[in-house]
Amino acid sequence: MQKIILFFLSLLLTTTLMAESFHAQLIATERAQGNTFLLKFSNGRVAFTTSPDANLGPTTYEVSVDEDQNLLQLQVSDDRPEAEEEKNYFLSPENTPTLITEEEARKIFNRLNSKYKRSSECSNRAHVWAWEEFKNNKITSEKVYVLFTASYINRYRFKWWFHVAPLYSVKKGDQIEKWVFDFMFNPQPVSIKQWTDGFVFSKRSCRYTEKFSEYDVNPQTEDCYLMIDSMFTWNPMDMKHQELSGRYKTQFARGEINFAYKQAFQ
Amino acid sequence: MKKIKTTAKYISLLCLISCNPETKDQKSILVTTTPASITGDYQVILRPLNNHLAGWIPNGKSELKIDDKTLSIKSWIDDSSAVTHRQFILKGSRCPTLEDDKNKDGVIDIIETVRVSGKIILPLDNNLQVQLGPLDQYPFGNFAYDQEISLKDLEEDLRQPDSNPDDHVIKLTPREFLSFENKVMIVLGINEKTILPDLTQNLDGVSPQLSIPIVCGLIKKTDEL
């Protein structure tokens, strides 16, 4: 009898040890497969559930998932960014990235802020990295987003529905190359394909799109979509908003920068 | 028994000092302990390796602090695998890449890693005083690791004779200073159910899955970052 109790206690302990929690806003709920639904959160994380609550809305939740991303707990939370500054939205999508040399690229990469916290969110790291380079050295970058389809997430029980990193335009001879600066996952700047290969286990290329809606209502035949946007965007919701409103961010929003520092850096 | 070992250690140390036919300068190197220049703060960005096997993108960070007397190491790893994670400091100064997958099986295994990143100089288990401890002394799953050791004890252990020169664990050579800068840190271990190619090599006594490197990084002084 003691052995049975010990077995269940160790099982409970293991489950607890492997559970992960995070705070984020619910962005979308979509059917993954059969009766399984996929919840997508603002921090890029996902959760699978077979019984989505019909009352779930675009609120910030405290979410707990197991190692296969199955939803364990969902509770309303008050932790959210300050209101966005409406004055930073403009009708022009103009954002010309600075052309940098290979040497400058290496210097920029090596001075990226390495004081990020455990469980920091990619959108917050990317936002701070882009902001610091713009603020300190007047270098304009872009952001590259990889958006994973529900079929890919379900197949690999992948943790995220999107990932983002700063993107720089590098002059290499007569060519201009786009290099991804994802300091947390790559030891040096890499091409977009090398970058996505780190996350797309099938190694399939991601379909490029300029419209978030193409990803949002995709037929699940791709593993991932790729979007490139200005450094002022913070997460894919900005691109959705831009597409719907026709208004673009042309400045960093102080509230978002403050939130990004607080969430992602020491 | 422990006294005999300690006595033997001091005899061998004395022998290094007095029996070695080196010049006076070289002798002073042999008896010099940790130089002051290694003191300071270090950081390791642990980036993913073999993430197609891990089922996730493992990542982490480690911070080393060295003062006059103590080495302290604090690390964290985010990884989905509920397994024991062996972690080591290797003697080399380069993390492997896919180009180092010499048998072309799509996996950078531990033997291919040791070939380019060097042999194991310090296993990061829960007993840093002894170079190799049992498996259960390594952290498990998503972990936070926090250990401290006296530099004197560490150096004494690393200057012991190598009891098995044929394995992947080595000691300091007589002329070598204890140092950590630009050395490689790795963490091993994926889910035991993962099917691996037949060519995947493993550490002796450890399953191929638990021998798979999942993150790697170089130890850098923080003022050089």
* Same-domain pairing of A33 and A154: no
Residues A183 and A250 reside in one and the same domain: yes
- Give pLDDT, residue A111: 96
Residue B59 is nearest to which of A14, A157, A184, comparing CB atoms? A184
User: Which tokens in the block code for residue A199?
Assistant: 């996350």
DSSP A16-49: HHH-EEEEEEEEEEEEEETTEEEEEETTSBEEEE
Q: Which residue has the tokens 């998932």?
A: A65
CB of A266 closer than 8 Å to CB of A120: no
Of A24, A47, A76, which residue sits at a domain end?
A76
- Please check whether residues A15 and A139 belong to one and the same domain: no
For A183, the domain range is 86-264
Give percent of chain B above pLDDT 90. 64
CA distances from B13 to B33, B165, B172 (A): 12, 19, 13
Q: Is residue A116 part of a domain?
A: yes
Residue A66 lies in a domain: yes
Whether residues A175 and A225 fall in one domain: yes
Residues A48 and A94 in one domain: no
Partner B contacted by A171 (CB < 8 A): no
Collapsed DSSP state (helix, strand, coil) of residue B10: helix
B201 pLDDT higher than 60? yes
Within a domain: A28: yes
φ, ψ for residue A264 (rounded to 5)? -110, -20
**Given the structure tokens 């100089």, which residue do they identify?**
B121
Residues of A in contact with B191 (CB under 8 A): none
User: For chain A, what is the domain count?
Assistant: 2
Of the residues A19, A54, A76, which one is the last residue of a structural domain? A76
Candidates A185, A194, A196, A200: best to mutate against B (most CBs of B within 10 A) is: A185
At A143 the pLDDT is 97
B223 vs A: CB within 8 A:
no
- A199/B57 Cβ within 8 A: yes
Q: List, edge to edge, every strand of the sheet that includes A36-41.
A: A46-49, A36-41, A20-33, A60-65, A71-76
Which pLDDT score is estimated for B55?
73
**pLDDT value at position A237?**
93
A63 and A148 fall within a common domain: no
The reply to whether A70 and A123 lie within a common domain is no
Q: Residues A122, A184: one domain?
A: yes
How far is A36 from A184, CA to CA, in rounded Å? 32
**Those residues with Cβ within 8 angstroms of residue B83's Cβ, 6 or more apart along the chain or in another chain:** B140, B141, B189, B190, B191, B192, B209, B210
Helices (H), ranges, A78-119: 102-110
Rg of chain B's alpha carbons, rounded to an integer? 18
- My answer on whether A187 and A63 are in the same domain is no
Chain-chain contact of B57 with A119 (C-beta, under 8 angstroms) = no
Instruction: Say if residue B52's pLDDT is above 50.
Output: yes
Residues A67 and A93 in one domain: no
Block mean pLDDT (10 aa), chain A, length 266: 52 56 87 88 91 79 89 81 50 76 97 94 97 95 97 92 97 95 97 96 95 93 96 94 91 92 94
In a domain, A15, yes or no: yes
Question: Could you identify the residue written with the tokens 């952001």?
Answer: A143
Q: Looking at the structure, tell me whether residues A64 and A188 fall in a common domain.
A: no
User: What are the pLDDT digits (tens) for B109-136?
Assistant: 999 999 999 999 999 998 888 877 665 6
Per-residue pLDDT tens for B6-18? 444 444 433 333 3
Closest residue, chain B, to A67 (C-alpha)? B80
Question: Cβ A114–B51 below 8 Å, yes or no?
Answer: no
d(CA B76, CA B145): 6
Residue A186 lies in a domain: yes
* Listed residues A11, A46, A76: the one ending a domain: A76
Rg (CA), chain A: 20
Same domain, A136 and A222: yes
pLDDT score of B12: 41
Residue A81, domain member (yes or no): no
CATH number of the domain within which A161 lies: 3.10.620
Residue B102 has φ and ψ, to the nearest 5°, of -65, -30
CA B167, B168, B171, B174 torsion-angle sign: positive
The secondary element (H helix, E strand) that includes residue B121 is strand B120-123
Whether residues B80 and A183 touch (CB distance < 8 A) is answered with no
